[in-house]
Structure 1
Amino acid sequence: MTWLLAQLPQVMARDRVLAAFVTGCQQITDSVRAQIDDLEHEIDVDLASPEMLAYLSSWLAVEVRPAATVAELTAQRRLLRAVGRVLLSRGTATGLEGLLAGLTGAQVTVHDSGGVSLPGEPDPPGGDVQIELTSLGLNDAEQVHAMIREELPVGVGYRLTVAGREA
């Protein structure tokens, strides 16, 4: 007797038509349960397949390229972990530091004067956001610039320095 059929009252379980119907339902639910049981492993960034990583990144508004090497896959996992950690602070200096550290695996320092101005008022003094990285990691400069432009508020300028050199 199957686990679902065992849940029925004995009178119903002895009915052949009902037993066959319930057994068919159990086969369907068993396959769904197996998929649900694996779901926590698919959402875990450390265990997820490369395809699931790409899907998870789309949830978080982060574009990842298909990983061709183990190092690239490791970098994608690091980036998605960083995005999850800084989700609530995206758009801030702290959030940008976390995302760039996740993208590059490097030490990141962001200097931002901060400040807010109302429409028609002059911008607060302080100038552009200064971003310092120790390395680009596996990325080219354009990928890092694209991430920065995506994360900074509209109209905010920045200066990127990598290992002491302007990038």
Structure 2
Amino acid sequence: MTWLLAQLPQTMARDPFLAGFVTGCQQVADSVRAQIDDLEHELDVDLASPEMLAYLGSWLAVSLRPATTPAELDDQRRLIRAVGSVIGYRGTCYGLERLLSALTGAHVTIGDPGGVALPGEPDRPGGDVRIEMSGTGRCDVAQVHAAIREELPVGVGYRLVVAGREQ
């Protein structure tokens, strides 16, 4: 006797039609329960399937192309984890540093000259943000520039230096 059929009164459970109907309902319920039980693992970046990882990325405005190697999949997991942890720091040196580090696997240092203007005073140019990276990992320089432009506040200039060479 199945778990759902066992919930019925005995007279109903002995009815062949009702027993078959309830057994069919249980099979559907079991598949739904299995998906719900697995949800915790699907939302874990380290355990999520590539399809679910792309879906999780879409929640964070990160577009992922299908990974073709385990290393690419690991890179995507690292990126999604980093974006999720720094989403509250978007537009800051800390947020950009963590994001670029996760994106490339490189050491990143950011120098921001900053700037302050009192109310009623014109904005003073603060200078460009200097971003130094030890490398670009699997990304090309154009992808790194695109990520930087996406994260920096509007109107902020920057200089990118990769492995000692200005890009």
**What is the TM-score of this pair, normalised by structure 1?**
0.86
Amino acid at match of 1:53: L
* Structure 1 range deviating more: 47-56 or 97-106: 47-56
- Alignment partners' CA distance in 2, 1:61 and 1:74: 19
**Deviations 1:111-132 (Å, cap 9, x if unpaired)?**
2234566998532442121111
Instruction: Work out whether 1:162 is the aligned partner of 2:157.
Output: no
CA distance in 2, matches of 1:116, 1:33: 56
What is the rounded CA distance, in whole Å, between the counterparts of 1:67 and 1:106 in structure 2? Answer: 20
Following TM superposition, by how much is the alpha carbon of 1:15 offset from its aligned partner in structure 2, in angstroms? 4.2
- Equivalent pairs: percent with the same residue? 75
Q: Which residue does the alignment assign to 1:152?
A: 152
* Shift of residue 133, structure 1, vs aligned partner: 0.8
Unaligned runs of 5+ in 2: none
Structure 1: any 5+ residue segments left out of the alignment? Answer: none
Taking the aligned partners of 1:150 and 1:119, their CA distance within structure 2 comes to 28
Alpha-carbon distance, 1:12 to partner: 3.9
Mark the CA change 1:30 to 1:82 in structure 2 (over 3 Å): closer, same or farther.
Answer: same
* Counterpart residue identity of residue 66, structure 2: P
| Number of aligned residue pairs | 167
Q: Match of 2:99?
A: 99
Are 1:39 and 2:39 counterparts?
Answer: yes
Alpha-carbon distance, 1:13 to partner: 3.1
**TM-score of the superposition, structure 2-length normalised?**
0.86
Deviates more, 1:62-71 or 1:94-103: 62-71
1:116/1:34 CA distance change after superposition, 3 Å? farther
In structure 2, relative to structure 1, the CA distance for the partners of 1:10 and 1:98 (3 Å cut) is same
The 3-state SS of whatever aligns with 1:130 is strand
Quick one: which amino acid aligns to residue 79 of structure 2? L
Which secondary structure does the structure 2 equivalent of 1:131 belong to?
strand
Distance 1:117 1:39, change over 3 A: farther
Give the equivalent residue in structure 2 for 1:62: 62
Q: Distance in 2 between matches of 1:119 and 1:65?
A: 45
